[in-house]
Chains A and B, each alone.
Chain A
Amino acid sequence: MPEPLDTLIQQHRNEAGGLMPLLHAVQAAYGFVAPEMVEPIAKGFNLSRAEVHGVISYYHHFRTTPPGRTVVQVCRAEACKACGSDGLMAEVEQRLGIKAHETRADGAVSLEPVYCLGLCAQSPAMQVNDRLFARVTPERLPAVLSAVEVAA
């Protein structure tokens, strides 16, 4: 069971600039920040709901819907583009049967673009859940995506 939301709010409400650490804690515990959490968070931090919603929606990292059981990220930035990441993204979309920013209907997998994983000397790079993969050639891709099949 994840930590109750109230407990997390109590842990961070007196911290200087504590809203961001709270949202990270919520997403770590629940996988996303649900819309119905906005009101208790706003109350706990003495902010308006608009302010809390504004912060959640501003940052790419925070999700407001549950992610797939596996999250696949493909780097879209220049260093990876220089080594074929456009083709890689197309191949990943085809293999997973979804487009970037989508979650598959069976809930098995979400596909997200990411702008730089810091592996720019070994592009193209991907991340599958918490695991990083460098130099992802078309030949290596099936092995990289094998975690998705397990979760499906």
Chain B
Amino acid sequence: MSAVKVFVPCDSAALAAGANEVAAALLNECARRGLAIDLVRNGSRGLFWLEPLVEVGTALGRVAYGPVTPEDVVSLLDAGLLDGGEHALRHGITEQIPFLALQERLTFRRMGITDPLSLADYEAHDGWQGLKRAVGMGSADLLHEVTHSGLRGRGGAAFPAGIKWKTVAGLQAAQKYVVCNADEGDSGTYSDRMTLEGDPFMLIEGMAIAAMTVGATEGYIYIRSEYPHAVATMTRAIALATEAGFLGDRVLGSEHIFHLHVRKAAGSYVCGEETAMLESLEGKRGIVRAKPPLPAIEGLFGLPTVINNVITFASVPVILARGAQFYRDYGMGRSHGTLPFQLAGNVKQGGLVEKAFGLTLRELLYGFGGGTRSGRPIKAVQVGGPLGAYVPESQWDVPLDYEAYAAIGAVLGHGGIVVHDDTADMAGLARYAMEFCAIESCGKCTPCRIGSTRGVEVIDRIAGGANREQQVILLRDLCETMVGGSLCAMGSMTPLPVLSALDHYPEDFGLTAADHQAA
């Protein structure tokens, strides 16, 4: 009889919850009992409230146990862990856990199932299907496929990927680049991190397809320094993929050349803005560039460059493998396909939910999230990262779709959803948004660089209570200047959390409803 397969994730969120200690305890205890196990370090399924989530391969499928501590190992083995035995921590067949079963995982379909650095695993789970099809297609057909899929930039700006790629493909240049923005600085987001750590070959495949489409031969993945595990996994994955011929001088034996490199960022939030990222990749301070010229035309080192977020590239293999129409049929309106929503903050069941566009925040918060972790009522939900609006309960039934969110003055951004309970101080969070902008502003635009500091002061004066109405008018005026006078989202979107907090929670600023009307 072969050894039982036991899965303990190596994703950094699992490690932070003690996965390595659990793996060691399992190996020790099994050795002591003379039990043979084949320990696989998989990626995370994204059910973070259950991490470390231990899975056991049984005839019925993989059975899940979690959250497991090293102290639980003895009782788990006593309960027959290796046969999928009953235990207080047992959640049944992993795929049947409602949080997972109710999702539409297209991009994340392999997540947590495979060993992230096993080429054999990747291949056995539909890996390289997209690239294999792409290699036989011309640039025009590839562009048509990506455009027709309706894929829009998943970093937050939601610009159609096919149109961006077409611009680069149509230019003549000695060198073109493909750059992946993996500077995932938004609080409440971790889908890029999960991809880099949990399914790195998928990103490589997507970038290789992009390179083939536009005629680029060099690529960079710009990963934040706060993600050392992601840097290590991605670096290793590139080496393995190059050795196996999926990257290099002859991609899949074809004439296509594609060399891929990892570059480490250095803790600047604004470098998640594409032009600041280019400056950083060139070895300079990450100061935002004025557009035009568009990076597609004059990008990295002044040459044509495709820049997309991790999830945008990662969505491409399935589009090529299953066809544009398959992907396009998911979603609503002009938001085609799926988005990996990331439930974070004060939520009972925090984790990654990949669903087609069009579900509501309420379904995510209660259907998937199960309400707050503290057990108190949800007060505010920040959607789309630190530059996203605070969405009050009256708007939780608006479908999650780029246009529907724009219509209520909010953004989907990178899909981060941060939940706050009724103890949250919205004036404090508005102040924090301004403070964060002051810390992270690159300094190029005055309204962002100085306005953010003035914003902190004005909010303090509002909280202090003197001339409150005038100070509120001043804050609105300042926000208008920041929106209109900043080159990038840092300055122009910081007012979004500030004003949404003020508009929806005026009482937290010491304003009565009557004051608020007047202001």
Interface residues of A (CB under 8 A from B): 16-21, 23-24, 45, 51, 54-55, 58-62, 77-83, 114-123, 125, 130, 132-135
Whole-angstrom distance from the CB of B448 to the nearest CB of chain A?
A: 15
- Inter-subunit contact A115/B345 (CB<8 Å): no
- Inter-subunit contact B429/A78 (CB<8 Å): yes
Do A133 and B16 form a contact, CB below 8 Å, given A20-B266, A122-B48? yes
Interface residues of B (CB under 8 A from A): 12-13, 15-17, 48-49, 51, 184-190, 193, 225-228, 263-269, 280-286, 301, 342-347, 350-352, 373, 382, 386, 416, 418-421, 424, 429, 432, 436, 439-440
Q: Which of A61, A77, A115 contacts B266 (CB 8 A)?
A: A61
Q: Which of B189, B264, B284 contacts A21 (CB 8 A)?
A: B264
Residue of A whose beta carbon sits closest to that of B280: A20
- Inter-subunit contact A60/B267 (CB<8 Å): yes
Cα distance A117–B424 when bound, in Å?
21
Cα distance A61–B266 when bound, in Å?
5
Cα distance A136–B15 when bound, in Å?
13
Cα distance A16–B373 when bound, in Å?
47
Known: A120-B350, A122-B13. 6 other contacts (CB 8 A): A51-B284, A54-B285, A60-B267, A80-B187, A115-B269, A122-B51
Q: Which of B51, B268, B282, B418 contacts A58 (CB 8 A)?
A: B268
Residue of B whose beta carbon sits closest to that of A133: B16
B184: A residues at CB distance < 8 A? 116, 118
| 10 A-B pairs whose Cβ atoms sit less than 8 Å apart in the complex | A61-B268, A78-B432, A79-B418, A82-B421, A82-B424, A116-B187, A119-B16, A120-B350, A121-B48, A121-B343
Whole-angstrom distance from the CB of B511 to the nearest CB of chain A?
A: 22
- Inter-subunit contact A120/B187 (CB<8 Å): yes
Residue of B whose beta carbon sits closest to that of A73: B226
Cα distance A19–B439 when bound, in Å?
23
Enumerate the 6 nearest inter-chain pairs by beta-carbon distance, A residue then B residue, closest first: A121-B350, A77-B187, A19-B283, A82-B345, A120-B344, A59-B266
B347: A residues at CB distance < 8 A? 121
Whole-angstrom distance from the CB of B186 to the nearest CB of chain A?
A: 7
Q: Which of B268, B342, B436 contacts A59 (CB 8 A)?
A: B268
A45: B residues at CB distance < 8 A? 283
B343: A residues at CB distance < 8 A? 121
A80: B residues at CB distance < 8 A? 187
B345: A residues at CB distance < 8 A? 78-79, 81-83, 120, 123
Residue of B whose beta carbon sits closest to that of A130: B228
Cα distance A28–B314 when bound, in Å?
30
B226: A residues at CB distance < 8 A? 114, 116-118
A83: B residues at CB distance < 8 A? 345-346, 373
Q: Which of B188, B282, B421 contacts A78 (CB 8 A)?
A: B188
Cα distance A132–B16 when bound, in Å?
5
Residue of A whose beta carbon sits closest to that of B433: A78
A121: B residues at CB distance < 8 A? 13, 48-49, 190, 342-344, 347, 350-352
B185: A residues at CB distance < 8 A? 115-116
- Inter-subunit contact A118/B286 (CB<8 Å): no
Residue of A whose beta carbon sits closest to that of B301: A16
Cα distance A147–B259 when bound, in Å?
41
- Inter-subunit contact A132/B188 (CB<8 Å): no
Kindly name the residue among B186, B228, B436 whose own CB sees the greatest number of chain A CB atoms within 10 A: B186
Whole-angstrom distance from the CB of A44 to the nearest CB of chain B?
A: 12
A16: B residues at CB distance < 8 A? 282, 301
Cα distance A122–B15 when bound, in Å?
12
Whole-angstrom distance from the CB of B105 to the nearest CB of chain A?
A: 17
- Inter-subunit contact A79/B13 (CB<8 Å): no
B352: A residues at CB distance < 8 A? 121
A51: B residues at CB distance < 8 A? 284
Do A135 and B187 form a contact, CB below 8 Å, given A17-B282, A118-B193? no
A125: B residues at CB distance < 8 A? 16
Cα distance A115–B265 when bound, in Å?
14
- Inter-subunit contact B225/A61 (CB<8 Å): yes
B344: A residues at CB distance < 8 A? 79, 82, 120-121, 123
B280: A residues at CB distance < 8 A? 20
Q: Which of A17, A18, A61, A118 contacts B267 (CB 8 A)?
A: A61
Residue of B whose beta carbon sits closest to that of A16: B301
Whole-angstrom distance from the CB of A128 to the nearest CB of chain B?
A: 11
Cα distance A24–B13 when bound, in Å?
24
- Inter-subunit contact A118/B266 (CB<8 Å): no
- Inter-subunit contact A20/B283 (CB<8 Å): yes
- Inter-subunit contact B386/A78 (CB<8 Å): yes
Residue of B whose beta carbon sits closest to that of A75: B187
Whole-angstrom distance from the CB of A36 to the nearest CB of chain B?
A: 20
- Inter-subunit contact B286/A58 (CB<8 Å): yes
Cα distance A13–B426 when bound, in Å?
48
Do A59 and B16 form a contact, CB below 8 Å, given A81-B429, A120-B190, A120-B345? no
Whole-angstrom distance from the CB of B262 to the nearest CB of chain A?
A: 10
- Inter-subunit contact A82/B263 (CB<8 Å): no
Cα distance A128–B370 when bound, in Å?
31
A17: B residues at CB distance < 8 A? 263, 281-283, 301
Cα distance A81–B182 when bound, in Å?
24
B416: A residues at CB distance < 8 A? 79, 120
Cα distance A120–B185 when bound, in Å?
11
Residue of B whose beta carbon sits closest to that of A80: B187
B286: A residues at CB distance < 8 A? 58-59
- Inter-subunit contact B12/A60 (CB<8 Å): no
